[in-house]
Structure 1
Amino acid sequence: MTDVLTPDPEAPRAIAQAPDASPADVGGGRWKRAALIAVPYVWLLVLFLAPFFIVLKISLSDTVIAQPPYQPVLDLANGWRGVVDWWNGLDFENYQILFEDELYVASYLSSLKIATISTLLTLAIAYPMAYAMARAPKSIRPTLLMAVILPFWTSLLIRVYAWIGILNPEGLLNQFLLWTGIIHEPLYIMNTETAVYIGIVYSYLPFMVLPLYSSLEKLDETLLEAAADLGSPPWRSFWQITVPLSLPGVVAGCFLVFIPACGEFVIPDLLGGSETLMIGKTLYNEFFLNRDWPVSSAIAVLLLLVLVVPIAIYNNIQAKELGGKA
């Protein structure tokens, strides 16, 4: 005869007699959770908001030949009067200069153009790479990922200098093309925007490949099989299933490439020459050569607003859409 398990009649009494958690334990758990949540906010405050407000303060100052090279300077030794004098000395003159001087307007527009074209070129190259990696056998995917990450083991400056040796009129590229007979005279790629595009696409290609690979690798292949069973050709399945499901990776990769490309300094300075206008070079010249800290700070603040505000708006829209779907 099979034994039947019956509930223990003493169990409810034991549970009822078990001591509850003390208020001190509950309060301690809340403090631990609050401390854990506060860590990223403290990190942002110390390493982002505090430096940003310092730069914002300098951007509202005036240039002087002194140390530091701007005024007014907040002097707490004078008490409240020093704070009032500092506040009254702030103005928006530097931001007015940015909109009135054609150099700064041209630098912003050129940076946005170069960053946009570079991002599109990077996406066009990275998507096939990420798709091939996601469809490769699982045994070789780690090796392919390692090959994508491998350039990060070398300094960016060294990699850019390597491109100088490749793109020079006497460089490896021209020597190879002349040897094969494709061209009969050297190509002048250095000190042009073409060289800047090449440098940016090469340097930021992994930032586009990795998020794309992450999205494509998670793609449910049964969806493609179902589409094929229903008579959908491969190209239509790609455009109607694969591309829409990989859009989060596309957006993330575009942001990761576009944002640093807008403020890039090393690549346009070494490969683009003196005639290539980008806001990173202009900021460097104002800060280190002209020692105009207020104007260079205004350039940095405006560039940050141009890049961060659209991203914040996009994230807000995405959060609302996800909340509506939920």
Structure 2
Amino acid sequence: MKHYTKLIRPYLIWSLLIVLVPLFLIVLYSITTGGNELVNIQFTLDNFKKIGEPIYLDVLKKSFTLGLLSVLICLILGYILAYFITRFKDSTQDLLILLVTIPMWINTLLRTYAWISILSDNGLVNKFLGIFELTPRTFMYTDFAVLIGLISDILPFMVIPIHTSIRKIDPSLIEASYDLGANGFETFVNVILKMSIPGVINGIMMTFLLSISTFVIPKLLGGGQYMLIGNLIENQFISVGNWNFGSATSIILTVIILVGLTLMKKFDREDKEDYDVHK
């Protein structure tokens, strides 16, 4: 036991330095005022109350609206893609899932710049329209551009958990549904869809949390005119220098993420229990 403790001690110290200390400072700044100096600070909850001002409520509203819309589209596309992948044999499924995850290996900034080259006025889309002598369209700095960027960034996080849930379904249950007289649609709704709900919930949680916390995509594809909660936090720390309000906003976002992760863990546990029952 002592040998084990010695082995993990460096990791505990490292975790303390890079996780707990910064987190403590963020919490401290969020409940204090007096600038970035730790001297003469005063404790207050005004930083949290400030998020209730109309301008910041609009930021939250915009973040949740774009987040929910991107999640809805990802849910439709992701479920179709995940279901399509499960129609193949196991080795092919593994290959297709690998292809789905490949974009995740590329830095988000690089992927966003790729979309700029596609959606800009002289981008690939308008060049394609020009082949057919169609009027060029403006895609950049619009809701459409931001939405496309968000969807392409978070779609794999919807596909993977849904695919995992569908793949776990015992084929004998599907066969039993057909044997009892159910048609393809009824089997899909009552067996496949119902038993893949935990994967759907996990996918929704992951994609929603990622969509509301991102700041690179709205900043580049939205032209700086889209202030989402991630951009607000970045702006308060870097541009405005109001670390106190920026920390309070970060705490609010962290709470949202923790609640989401708790729900994900709950549904994932239920998914495993259901799988063990039907196994």
- Counting only pairs closer than 5 Å after superposition, residues 220-239 of structure 1 correspond to structure 2 as 220-239=170-189
Report how far residue 301 of structure 1 moved: 0.8
Answer 1 or 2: which has greater helix percent: 2
Candidates 170, 175, 179, aligned match of 2:131: 179
CA contact (8 A) 1:134 1:213 kept: yes
CA contact (8 A) 2:198 2:268 kept: no
Partner of 1:241: 191
RMSD in angstroms over aligned alpha carbons? Answer: 3.1
Distance 1:205 1:129, change over 3 A: same
Report how far residue 256 of structure 1 moved: 1.5
CA contact (8 A) 1:131 1:213 kept: yes
Q: Is 2:19 aligned against 1:51? A: no
Q: Is 2:145 aligned against 1:195? A: yes
CA contact (8 A) 2:30 2:248 kept: yes
Candidates 242, 252, 256, aligned match of 1:302: 252
CA contact (8 A) 2:202 2:267 kept: no
Q: Percent identity?
A: 30
Q: Is 2:50 aligned against 1:97? A: yes
Distance 1:37 1:134, change over 3 A: farther
Counterpart residue type for residue 92 of structure 1: L
SS at 1:241 equivalent: helix
Partner of 2:213: 263
Q: Is 2:71 aligned against 1:116? A: no
For 2:268 and 2:109, how far apart are their aligned partners in 1? 36
Partner of 1:25: none
Partner of 2:33: 62
CA contact (8 A) 2:201 2:267 kept: no
For 2:12 and 2:270, how far apart are their aligned partners in 1? 22
For 1:48 and 1:113, how far apart are their aligned partners in 2? 31
162-171 vs 91-100, greater mean Cα deviation: 91-100
- Counting only pairs closer than 5 Å after superposition, residues 8-157 of structure 1 correspond to structure 2 as 48-64=19-35, 69-72=36-39, 89-100=42-53, 102-157=54-109
For 2:56 and 2:216, how far apart are their aligned partners in 1? 19
Report how far residue 298 of structure 1 moved: 1.0
CA contact (8 A) 1:265 1:280 kept: yes
Q: Is 2:122 aligned against 1:170? A: yes
**CA offset digits 1:240-299 (Å, max 9, x no partner):** 100111111111111211112111110000001232120111111111111111111111
Distance 1:113 1:45, change over 3 A: farther
For 1:288 and 1:311, how far apart are their aligned partners in 2? 28
Report how far residue 112 of structure 1 moved: 1.1
SS at 2:121 equivalent: coil
TM-score, normalised by the number of residues in structure 2? 0.86
CA contact (8 A) 2:202 2:264 kept: no
Larger gyration radius, structure 1 or structure 2: 1
For 2:86 and 2:270, how far apart are their aligned partners in 1? 30
Report how far residue 310 of structure 1 moved: 5.2
For 2:68 and 2:97, how far apart are their aligned partners in 1? 26
Report how far residue 318 of structure 1 moved: 8.0
For 1:198 and 1:292, how far apart are their aligned partners in 2? 31
CA contact (8 A) 1:60 1:92 kept: yes
Structure 2 unaligned regions, length at least 5: none
TM-score, normalised by the number of residues in structure 1? 0.74
Report how far residue 35 of structure 1 moved: 9.7
**CA offset digits 1:219-245 (Å, max 9, x no partner):** 111111111122111011101100111
Counterpart residue type for residue 188 of structure 1: T
285-294 vs 46-55, greater mean Cα deviation: 46-55
Report how far residue 63 of structure 1 moved: 3.9
SS at 1:140 equivalent: helix
Structure 1 unaligned regions, length at least 5: 1-27, 74-85
Aligned length in residues:
275
**CA offset digits 1:22-59 (Å, max 9, x no partner):** xxxxxx5xx78999999999897665554322201011
